[in-house]
Amino acid sequence: MAVEQIAAQGVDLAKLGAGIAIGFGAIGGGLGIGIATKGVVDSIARQPAIKGFAFTTFLLGAALAEATAIYAFVIAFRLAG
Partner 1 sequence: MEHWIYSINIAGHSAAFNLDTLITMWLTMLILIILALCTTKNISIIPGKLQVVGESIINYFVDTAKANMSEKEALKHSPIILTLFFFIITANLVGQLPWHLLHLHQGELASPNNDINMTAAMAIVVSVYYMYYGARRKGMKFFFHGFSMEGIILTLVDWLEFFIRPLTLAVRLFANILAGELLIFTFVSLCAYVLPIPFMLFEILVAIVQAMVFTLLSTIYIATAVEETH
Chain residues binding partner 1 by CB under 8 A are 59-60, 63-64, 66-67, 70-71, 73-74, 77, 81
* Residue 6 or 15 having the CB closest to partner 1: 15
Q: 32: helix, coil or strand?
A: helix
The whole-angstrom separation of Cα 39 and Cα 54 is: 9
* Residue 47 or 56 having the CB closest to partner 1: 56
Q: How far is the CB of 67 from partner 1 (least distance, A)?
A: 4
The whole-angstrom separation of Cα 56 and Cα 75 is: 29
